[in-house]
């Protein structure tokens, strides 16, 4: 019995830091409508800065002074970020905001390693709370008890601030109607900045408070942000009390899940999240959001199929690509095959995003499932390569069918957070279920058979599959299915009123996109000759997003160009610099701020030479007022 | 109007939000080919009532019968399949498609081809789509981007979309709101003409009393969620309770048609 009580208390202690981060995210979202992906990065920075302060300045500040000072320093960094970056993108589509703050996260990860090195750092323990309390033979660290008290205390303080101070009233008013608050003469800029500072302070404080419990490392940002996304999806984005309840729930599920499913404890959290989403799609204490701003919203010109001249141009480009083995060496062909595979992957996400308006932040899950599917079929079942290539993607299809069913119940930022969380769950399973997947060691020697073994043959195979996949997606885009999907994206109200079952259409699109991604993953497994959990990872999901964005969200097939340019660039970049994340992150931020239409979109609008930006603005305002 | 069974019959429809009774026990019927107006001051419950008819809102109590079928609590898309077209107070169209494609989507939904992954939409049901565009006087707009249309044209496009499933009933929520006076008259004349030709029942809400009294066969008056009057334009015009509600609001019709009613 005592053991369960201790397990419960440990869960409560973990809930405290999760709550701090989640409430910060919620407060920022409530006012600015930005889901701050970089929140995990601020949490991590808080931990690193606190480590330095407690190590070097504990004499001047003391342990507790150092913790608070660390949170304040990081909050000041947050203010800079808000003023320099976020103020430029408050009116951009949600997808761009998520991507920009993700780019920031990437940069911080490399900067942290630059400054503090790649190794885990173990901070000091809290003075006065170093010991443990004996509880019927079980030991509870005193520091855990402190954290258990801290969570509700912060909740109470936040409640007081929001209910009893003038600033709190303004924040609550802005949460309900930003424009009205601005019309009443409140200085919006500083309200936003101060809210962002508070949110970042809470995240950094949580990070700083973790150092007596856990080692500080440069991967803690993604771990915490995924947990926090799960918390806010369950609790309801924008609700502080919801964040608290869900943080406790998730932490307890983790604490006890380890006892029930030691290998895949994350399953339990997933099941609870699924139930909550079915019963209350906006979270336990959240409110239904107004329909999300339309993610594209940049172009007005309707799409059209290729003209005969464009078809000829595409055929010539394909012919050139197909004749690459005549001139290129083996290394170039391997790179070429990899690019073709990423064209498949990016095109599948692009279909979901541009036609469906569904920005998945975890599309790598289905790419990776396809890769693992091949590995299972080829290595465990020992079937021939053709069978593996056909059956492998089925795993991607099944994953997309299960997760997609839940994901399409939501839209906008909720959809993005949920897909990200699902991908992370799949990654954790692949990582933890060592008996089946080999865990971190992966599944090795998945080599193609002789007919596809040579670099040129494998290149042709990848190119051929890419052409089929892209062609299929293009045809589907201009088929009634694609139009129904776009109809639902453009106006859910109207499409429902003409008999379109939006959720079913979106689900089908999710399954299609997941399956095509799985086909890419299946080829990828044979290209690399092995499968590791990385193929399911968040960085790969974000690669795909950047490819789509680089090509142009608003275009029919921009992702092809995006994938080619991005993949070629990143392969080159990795060979040139150690700090590829820093460069990549800066690149993403720059692209979102300065170049939102992408390559193909920009070329198209130059081609048209029409004042389309004016029309786009008119349209955007029309859409906004209609909603 | 007609001795036959009503197209739409509503019994005891009620809806409250918190303590506010938005709609209380409203009952009425609508016959094929009839144009029925639902009027009332702001906050009378018109929109709530309207949204309960096609499944946009679920009623707390009451029944909605369409062609003898109970459609209470059905989803909008299911009600649409039974032959109910609808236009919105603020137009809802697909701005990234051409005008013709807006119609083609509705047509392919009507033909249950939405899950077709291979057919080419831009060349499907061309003649049918163009016929509908001609019908609402938009034949020349087929290839225009829907996002570039003027507001009055969007309203006409919505009407064409609503007609795509050969509806038996049209629900039009403030069809002329936000339009210029001349456009209003044209749109309602067009609607009335189509309704009479095809024997479609039309229910519309409207604030413009000129439009209401010119085109409605019958009028329902809502106030604070209650149906307070029902009858021909003449009857409603004479109704003292209706006059009392509208007098304070400067009823347009009152100024123009003073000879029609006692002072």
Q: How many domains in chain B?
A: 2
pLDDT (tens digit per residue) in A226-266: 889 889 889 988 889 999 999 999 999 988 888 877 766 77
Residue showing tokens 């160009």: A561
* Residue A186, pLDDT score: 86
Given a cut of 70, whether residue A557 has pLDDT beyond it is yes
Interface contact B92-A478, CB threshold 8 A: no
| Minimum CA–CA partner of B106 in chain A | A498
Statement to judge: residues B177 and B61 lie in one domain: yes
User: What is the secondary structure of A322-376 as a DSSP string?
Assistant: HTHHHH--HHHHHHHHHHHHHHHHHHHHHIIIIIT----S-THHHHHHHHHHHHI
- pLDDT at res. B12: 92
Asked if B75 lies within 8 A of A496 by C-beta distance, the reply is yes
* Domain boundary residue, one of B165, B193, B219: B165
Q: Cβ of A494 under 8 Å from any chain B Cβ? A: yes
Indicate the fold that domain A2-279 takes in CATH.
ABC transporter involved in vitamin B12 uptake, BtuC (1.10.3470)
Identify the architecture of domain A308-626 in CATH.
Orthogonal Bundle (1.10)
DSSP state of A83: I
Q: What pLDDT does residue B180 have?
A: 84
Answer whether A26's CB lies under 8 Å from A161's CB.
no
- Of A414, A27, A42, A37, nearest to A243 by C-alpha is A27
Q: Is residue B88 part of a domain?
A: no
Residues of chain A with C-beta less than 8 angstroms from the C-beta of B105 = 480, 483-484, 487, 495, 498, 500
B161: nearest CB among A476, A498, A625: A498
Domain-located, residue B157: yes
The backbone torsions φ and ψ at residue A362, rounded to the nearest 5 degrees and listed phi first, read -135, 40
Residue A579 token pair: 């700090």
Question: In terms of domains, do B143 and B194 share one?
Answer: no
> What's phi and psi for A293, nearest 5 deg?
-60, 145
Residues of A in contact with B164 (CB under 8 A): 498
Alpha-carbon separation of residue B54 from B47, B63, B76 (angstroms) = 11, 12, 5
Region of A594 (left: φ > 0; alpha: ψ -120 to 50; beta: rest) is: alpha
- Which backbone phi and psi does B14 adopt, to 5 degrees? -140, 145
Order of all β-strands in the sheet with B61-66 = B20-30, B8-17, B61-66, B69-70
Q: How far apart are the first and last CA of chain A?
A: 54
User: Cβ neighbours of residue A107 under 8 Å, at least 6 residues apart?
Assistant: A581, A582, A585, A586, A589
- Cα gap B132→B161, rounded to integer Å: 8
Chain A residues with CB inside 8 Å of B80's CB? 497-499
Q: For all residues of chain A together, what is the average pLDDT?
A: 88
Q: Cβ of A514 under 8 Å from any chain B Cβ?
A: no
Whether residue A283 is predicted with pLDDT greater than 60 in this model: the reply is yes
| Same domain? B199 vs B257 | yes
Residue A177 is predicted with a pLDDT of: 81
- Weakly modelled stretches of chain B, pLDDT under 50: 1-2, 250-252, 254-263
Contacts of A505 in chain B (CB under 8 A): 114-115
Last residue in a domain, options B135, B165, B195: B165
Give the C-alpha separation, A575 to B28, whole Å. 76
**pLDDT(A380) > 80:** yes
Half-sphere exposure of A159 (CA within 13 A, CB side): 10
- CA within 13 Å, CB half, A457: 8
Q: Which helix (H) or strand (E) holds B26?
A: strand B20-30
CB proximity list for B128: less than 8 A, separation 6 or greater: B107
Residue B69, in any domain of the structure: yes
Q: Is A611 on the interface with B (CB under 8 A)?
A: no
CA distance to partner chain B, nearest, from residue A353 (Å):
15
- Looking at the structure, do residues B149 and B57 belong to the same domain, yes or no? no
Check residue B249 and give its pLDDT. Answer: 53
CB-facing half-sphere around the CA of A423: CA atoms within 13 A: 30
Q: What is the pLDDT of residue A411?
A: 81
pLDDT digits (tens, 9 = 90+) for A462-510: 999 999 999 999 999 999 999 999 999 999 999 999 999 999 999 999 9
Distance from CA of B111 to the nearest CA of A (A): 10
Q: A335 - beta bridge partners? A: none
Task: Give me the DSSP letters along B182-235.
Answer: HHHHHHHHHHHHHHHHHT-EEEEE-S-HHHHHHH-SEEEEEETTEEEEEE-HHH
Assess A612–B contact: CB distance below 8 Å, yes or no.
Answer: no
pLDDT(A161) > 50? yes
Residue A523 burial (10 A CB sphere; 0-12, 13-18, 19+): buried
Same domain, B156 and B247: no
Considering the domain boundaries, does residue B262 fall inside one? yes
CATH number for the domain harbouring residue B250: 3.40.50.300
Q: How far is A349 from chain B (nearest CA, A)?
A: 17
Is A238 near chain B, with CB under 8 Å? Answer: no
Name the minimum distance, in Å, from the CA of A309 to any CA of chain B.
18
- The SS3 of residue B15 is strand
B73 and B1 in one domain? yes
Q: Is A335 exposed, middle or buried (0-12, 13-18, 19+ CB in 10 A)?
A: middle
> What pLDDT score was predicted for residue B255?
44
Give the whole-angstrom CA distance, residue B73 versus residue B76.
9
Same domain, B101 and B229: no
Supply φ then ψ for residue B65, to 5 degrees.
-110, 130
Range(s) of the domain holding residue B98: 93-165
| Interface-testing mutation among B114, B122, B132, B169, with chain A (most A C-beta atoms within 10 A) | B114
Highest mean pLDDT among A130-134, A203-207, B52-56: A203-207
Whether residue B202 contacts residue B8, with contact meaning beta carbons closer than 8 Å, is answered with no
Q: Which residue of B has its CA nearest to A554?
A: B96
A6-15, A395-404, A446-455: which is most confident? A395-404
Q: Same domain for B24 and B145?
A: no
Strands B61-66 and B69-70: antiparallel
Beta bridge partners of A308: none
A vs B, Cβ pairs < 8 A, gives 126
Domain span(s) for CATH 1.10.3470 in chain A: 2-279, 308-626
The answer to whether A498 contacts B118, with C-beta atoms less than 8 Å apart, is no
pLDDT of residue A259: 82
Question: Which residue in B80, B101, B147 is closest to A499 by CB distance?
Answer: B80
> In angstroms, what separates the C-alpha of B29 from chain A's closest C-alpha?
22
Total residues belonging to chain B: 263
* Chain B hits for A626, Cβ within 8 Å: 90-92
Q: Does A402 touch chain B (CB under 8 A)?
A: no
Decide if A303 touches B, using CB distance below 8 A. yes
Instruction: Give the pLDDT score at B31.
Output: 93
User: Is B105 within 8 Å of A491 when comparing Cβ atoms?
Assistant: no
Q: Which residue has the tokens 């123009």?
A: B256
What is the pLDDT at residue B247? 59
Residue B189: inside a domain: yes
In b/e form, how buried is each residue of A23-37, taking b as 16+ CB within 10 angstroms?
bbbbbbbbbbbbbbb
Contacts of B147 in chain A (CB under 8 A): 300, 615, 619, 622
The DSSP letter of residue B146 is: G
- What are the tens digits of pLDDT across the range A386-426? 999 999 999 999 999 999 999 998 888 788 888 988 898 89
Shared domain for B148 and B180, answered yes or no, is: no
Closest by alpha carbon to A27, among A38, A37, A35? A35
Contacts of A556 in chain B (CB under 8 A): none
Q: Which residues pair with B65 in a beta bridge?
A: B9, B70
Of A475, A486, A493, which is closest to B96 when you measure between CB atoms? A486
Q: Residue A298's pLDDT band (boundaries 50, 70, 90)? A: very low
Please enumerate in sequence order all residues whose Cβ is within 8 A of that of A141, keeping only pairs 6 or more positions apart, or say none.
Answer: A13, A129, A131, A132, A133, A213
Same domain, B187 and B63: yes
Asked whether the beta carbons of residue B97 and residue A487 sit closer than 8 angstroms, the reply is: yes
The last residue of a domain, from among B165, B196, B229: B165
- Whether pLDDT at A222 is above 90: no
Same domain for B115 and B139: yes
Residues B143 and B227 in one domain: no
The helix (H) or strand (E) run that includes residue B172 is strand B169-173
From CA A276, how far away is CA A283, in angstroms rounded? 7
| Over residues A84-103, mean pLDDT | 87
Contact map slice: A 78-117 vs B, CB within 8 A: none
Which residues face B144 on adjacent strands?
Answer: none
């Amino acid at each position: 019995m005592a053991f369960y009580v201790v397990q419960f208390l440990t869960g409560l202690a973990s809930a405290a830091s999760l709550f701090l981060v989640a409430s910060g995210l919620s407060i920022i979202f409530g006012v600015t409508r930005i889901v701050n992906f970089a929140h995990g990065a601020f949490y991590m920075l808080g931990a690193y800065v606190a480590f330095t302060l407690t190590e070097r300045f504990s004499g001047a500040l003391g342990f507790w002074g150092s913790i608070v000072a660390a949170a304040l320093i990081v909050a000041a960094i947050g203010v800079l970020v808000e003023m320099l970056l976020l103020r430029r993108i408050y009116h951009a589509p949600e997808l761009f905001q998520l991507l920009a703050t993700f780019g920031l996260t990437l940069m911080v990860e490399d900067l942290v390693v630059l400054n503090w090195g790649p190794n885990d750092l173990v901070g000091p323990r809290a003075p006065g709370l170093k010991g443990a309390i004996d509880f019927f033979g079980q030991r509870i660290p005193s520091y855990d008890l402190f954290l258990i008290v801290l969570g509700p205390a912060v909740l109470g303080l936040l409640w007081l601030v929001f209910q009893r101070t003038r600033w709190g009233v303004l924040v609550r008013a802005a949460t309900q109607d930003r424009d009205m608050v601005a019309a009443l003469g409140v200085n919006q800029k500083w309200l936003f900045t101060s809210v962002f500072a508070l949110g970042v302070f809470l995240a950094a404080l949580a990070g700083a408070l973790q150092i007596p419990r856990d080692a500080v490392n440069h991967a803690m940002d993604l771990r915490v942000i995924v947990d926090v996304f799960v918390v806010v999806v369950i609790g309801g984005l924008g609700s502080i009390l919801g964040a608290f309840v869900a943080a406790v729930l998730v932490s307890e599920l983790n604490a006890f899940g380890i006892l029930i499913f030691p290998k895949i404890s994350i399953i339990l959290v997933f099941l609870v999240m699924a139930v909550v989403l079915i019963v209350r799609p906006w979270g336990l204490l959240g409110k239904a959001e107004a329909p999300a701003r339309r993610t594209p919203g940049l172009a007005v010109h309707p799409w059209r199929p290729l003209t005969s001249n464009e078809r000829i141009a595409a055929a010539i480009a394909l012919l050139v690509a197909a004749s690459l083995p005549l001139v290129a060496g083996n290394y170039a062909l391997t790179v070429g095959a990899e690019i073709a595979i990423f064209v498949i992957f990016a095109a599948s996400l692009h279909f979901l995003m541009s036609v469906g308006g569904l920005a998945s932040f975890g599309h790598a899950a289905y790419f990776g499932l396809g890769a693992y599917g091949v590995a299972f079929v080829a290595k465990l079942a020992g079937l021939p390569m053709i069978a593996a290539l056909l059956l492998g993607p089925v795993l991607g299809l099944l994953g997309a069918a299960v997760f997609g069913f839940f994901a399409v119940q939501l839209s906008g930022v909720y959809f993005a957070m949920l897909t990200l969380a699902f991908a992370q769950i799949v990654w954790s399973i692949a990582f933890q279920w060592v008996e089946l997947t080999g865990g971190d060691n992966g599944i090795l020697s998945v080599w193609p058979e002789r007919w596809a073994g040579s670099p040129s043959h494998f290149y042709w195979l990848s190119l051929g599959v890419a052409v089929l996949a892209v062609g299929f997606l293009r045809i589907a885009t201009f088929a009634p299915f694609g139009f129904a999907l776009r109809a639902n994206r453009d106006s859910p109200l109207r499409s429902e009123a003409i008999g379109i079952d939006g959720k079913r259409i979106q689900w089908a699109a999710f399954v299609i996109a997941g399956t095509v991604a799985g086909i890419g993953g299946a080829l990828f497994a044979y290209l690399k000759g092995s499968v590791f959990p990385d193929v399911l990872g968040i960085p790969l999901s974000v690669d795909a997003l950047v490819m789509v964005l680089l090509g142009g969200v608003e275009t029919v097939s921009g992702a092809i160009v995006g994938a080619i340019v991005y993949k070629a660039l990143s392969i080159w970049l990795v060979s040139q610099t150690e700090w590829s994340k820093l460069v990549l992150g800066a690149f993403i931020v720059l692209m979102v701020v300065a170049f939102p239409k992408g390559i193909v979109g920009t070329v198209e609008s130059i081609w048209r030479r029409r004042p389309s930006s004016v029309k786009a603005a008119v349209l955007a305002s029309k859409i906004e007022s209609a909603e | 109007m007609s001795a036959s069974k009503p197209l739409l019959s509503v019994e005891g429809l009620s809806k409250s939000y918190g303590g506010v009774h938005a709609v209380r026990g409203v009952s009425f019927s609508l016959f094929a080919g009839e144009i029925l107006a639902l009027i009332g001051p702001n906050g009378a419950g018109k929109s709530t009532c309207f949204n309960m008819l096609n499944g946009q809102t679920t009623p707390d109590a009451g029944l909605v019968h369409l062609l003898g079928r109970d459609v209470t609590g059905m989803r909008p898309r299911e009600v649409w399949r039974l032959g109910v077209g609808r236009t919105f107070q603020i137009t809802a169209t697909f701005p990234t498609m051409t005008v013709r494609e807006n119609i083609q989507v509705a047509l392919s939904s009507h033909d249950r081809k939405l899950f077709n992954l291979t057919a080419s939409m831009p060349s499907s049901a061309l003649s049918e789509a163009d016929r509908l565009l001609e019908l609402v006087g938009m034949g020349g707009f087929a290839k225009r981007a829907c996002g570039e249309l003027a507001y009055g044209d969007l309203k006409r496009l919505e009407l064409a979309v609503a007609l795509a499933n050969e509806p038996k009933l049209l629900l039009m929520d403030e069809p002329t709101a936000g339009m210029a006076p001349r456009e209003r008259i044209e749109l309602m004349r067009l609607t009335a003409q189509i309704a009479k030709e095809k024997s479609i029942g039309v229910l519309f809400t409207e604030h413009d009393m000129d439009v209401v009294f010119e085109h409605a066969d019958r009028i329902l008056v809502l106030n604070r969620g209650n149906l307070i009057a029902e009858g021909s334009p003449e009857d409603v015009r004479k109704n003292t309770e209706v006059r009392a509600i509208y007098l304070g609001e400067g009823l347009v019709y009152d100024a123009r048609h003073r000879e029609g009613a006692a002072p």
